[in-house]
Amino acid sequence: MSLPPFELLYQRHRDELYGYMCARLAREDAADAFQETFLRALRTYERLEHARELRGWLFTIARSVLADRGRRAATRPVEVPAALADTSAAPVGADSAAHTADDPSLAELTQGLPRKERAAVVLRYGFDLDYDDIGAALDSSSDAARQATSSGVRRLRQQLTPDAESSGERKPASRKVGHDTGTC
């Protein structure tokens, strides 16, 4: 089956893909990621060997764009203003992750973590990627990504509430985070 004209593919999926980005990023970042996704798609479109699963192909590119942005965000040095340096009042662990990807508090909160754990936590809770995609972004497996995320969250809990950890106090149950946080 030959490839459809790119314009038709673009028209068919652009709104859905823009919504996907908006659910994960602030408006300006969503616009950049949207463009980057379709530009990457155009760069490789001719090399596709068949026209099956084109929507899935586009969303794979979209996740890869998000992963790249997450990786850059996770490794970007963050200067924490004095007023924000005291993070003791911040929410804790996975519960704390209800931030949009552009929310600087997640980058700040995680800056003390080892590099891989930090990247995993940011990709999971800032960009809402699943563990397969995080593994791909970090050149490791899905299990390793889950483990790195889990270790990062555990370490954050220890850093932020050392008393609670040592006293064995139970934390509130974690909730699923990172969905529909967009601002488009």
Partner 1 sequence: MTQVPAELDAEFRRHAVQEGLFDVSFGIAESPVGDLLLATTQVGVCRIAFDPDPERQLDELSTLFGSRVLGATEPLEAAVAQLDEYFRGSRHAFELPLDLTAVTEFHRLVLDRLAEVPYGTVTTYAELARDAGRPRAARAVGGAMNRNPIPIVLPCHRVVGADGSLTGYGGGLPRKETLLTLEGVSL
- What is the nearest approach in angstroms of partner 1 to the Cβ of residue 79? 31
Identity of the residue, 22 or 121, whose beta carbon is nearer to partner 1 in the bound complex: 22
Taking the alpha carbons at both ends of the chain, their separation in whole angstroms is 36
Residues that bind partner 1 (rule: CB under 8 A) add up to a total of 24
- What is the nearest approach in angstroms of partner 1 to the Cβ of residue 34? 7
The window from 32-40, 75-83, 90-98, 138-146 that contacts partner 1 (CB under 8 A) reads 32-40
- Interface with partner 1 includes 57 (CB under 8 A)? no
The pair phi, psi for residue 34, each rounded to 5°, is -60, -50
C-alpha distance from residue 141 to each of 9, 74, 132, 146 (Å): 31, 18, 7, 9
What is the Cα–Cα distance from 176 to 44, expressed in whole angstroms?
A: 35
The sign of the dihedral angle between the CA atoms of 78, 30, 37, 20 is positive
- What is the nearest approach in angstroms of partner 1 to the Cβ of residue 44? 10
Number of alpha carbons in the 13 Å side-chain half-sphere of residue 66: 32
Report the site for partner 1 in 120-179 (rule: CB under 8 A). Answer: none
Where along the sequence are the contacts to partner 1 (CB under 8 A)?
Answer: 2-8, 10, 14-16, 18-19, 22, 31, 34-35, 38-39, 42-43, 45-46, 184
